[in-house]
Amino acid sequence: MSLSSNSLPNLPLVSIVMPSYNQALYLEKAIQSVLNQDYPNIEFFVVDGGSSDESVEIIRKYHKTHPDRLVWWVSEKDKGQADAINKGFKRAKGEIFAWLNSDDIYLDGAVNKAVKIFRNDPDLGFVYSNIKSIDKDGHVFNEITYDDWGVEDLMAFCILGQAGVFMRRDAFESVGGLDSSYDLLLDALLFMRIANRYKIRYINDFFAAARIHPEAKNISQAKKFGDEAFKIIEMMPNDDDFMDIYWKNRRRIHAGAYRLGAHYLLDGGDYVKSFNWYMKSLWHHPPTALKEFSRLVFALFSIFLPLDSIKREYLNRRAAKFAGEKYY
């Protein structure tokens, strides 16, 4: 599909979906970050899951003031995040797709940068950028950078920052959209499938900021990530997209799943299980496990020593590097 638009000649339409549920505390800033993009040809959909807080009032306000951009919204019960996002994209007319969770934000110029990359390479399935980490108040406390990864890396659970991903519509639809049977790694599975069929490209820039707060899934459901990774692995040997790559890389793939689980278990404070999973990752494929050597060591010593104060000091020093940098 060539990149064109019915409404603005030579400027492809970008469709952005925002799933949300009871995120009124952060929703307004997320919406503003889409509406304030300098790219002129955007259609924006907000799919609310029937929130009981002030979310609907916020959405209604911006739909009234920006009907040319926030073109449709709904507030009704859904079957989860994948269902909400798929529902939004079914209404989309754009040639480039993206979704932004309602506690994250786009940085200035993100959409414009992504579109330029797609226009220069019509074979790309998706592009992905680095991600800034912000706290509940919008203060930057970390930057997460990635690398030039391919399908083998993604299948080994090298996880992308979803907020920094923009996809070609054809690529999203060719793999059937998001699989609603997954709650936590639905984006990872989607990116694996697209990367198996299309070129992908890493952009060494920052398109978005992901907000880390106690209610975020990577905090509140930290212990479930590893289980969902192995759910994906279970289907790989019999899946046409993955079977050949799986059998050639199965030790690395299993190591990646254990490392991912260990990473989130450590964040969730389960030091014993985290260390156990890091060791399983090490046994399956040492280079994969050793990419998080410092976290492996921390998990080990945390079993025997009270290292929470050291962890807090490290996090405070890291955050100090970004002192004064704030987004909303």
Written in H, E and C, the secondary structure of 39-86 is CCCEEEEEEECCCCCCHHHHHHHHHHHCCCCEEEEEECCCCCHHHHHH
In a domain, 6, yes or no: no
In a domain, 2, yes or no: no
Q: Of 219, 254, 283, which residue constitutes the final position of a domain?
A: 219
On whether both 290 and 242 belong to a single domain, the answer is: yes
Instruction: For residue 93, give the CATH number of its domain.
Output: 3.90.550.10
Q: Which residues have CB under 8 Å from 88's CB, separation 6+? A: 15, 17, 18, 19, 45, 46, 47, 99
In a domain, 9, yes or no: no
Instruction: Take residue 168 and report the two structure tokens written for it.
Output: 């070609």
On whether both 200 and 272 belong to a single domain, the answer is: no
Confidence of residue 5 (pLDDT cuts 50, 70, 90): very low
On whether both 129 and 228 belong to a single domain, the answer is: no
The mean pLDDT of 121-126, rounded to a whole number, is 96
In a domain, 157, yes or no: yes
On whether both 78 and 41 belong to a single domain, the answer is: yes
Considering its fold, how many domains does the chain have in total? Answer: 2
Tell me the residue range of the domain where 301 lies. 221-318
222-275 pLDDT, tens digit per residue, is: 788 999 999 999 999 999 999 999 999 999 999 999 999 999 999 888 999 999
The answer to whether the beta carbons of residues 216 and 136 sit under 8 Å apart is: no
φ and ψ of 326, to 5 deg: -140, 140
On whether both 271 and 251 belong to a single domain, the answer is: yes
On whether both 193 and 78 belong to a single domain, the answer is: yes
In a domain, 4, yes or no: no
Q: Of 173, 200, 219, which residue constitutes the final position of a domain?
A: 219
Quick check: pTM over 0.75? yes
On whether both 164 and 235 belong to a single domain, the answer is: no
In a domain, 32, yes or no: yes
Q: Residue 1: what pLDDT? A: 41
260-286 pLDDT, tens digit per residue, is: 999 999 988 899 999 999 999 999 999
On whether both 32 and 153 belong to a single domain, the answer is: yes
Q: Of 167, 196, 219, which residue constitutes the final position of a domain?
A: 219
On whether both 150 and 270 belong to a single domain, the answer is: no
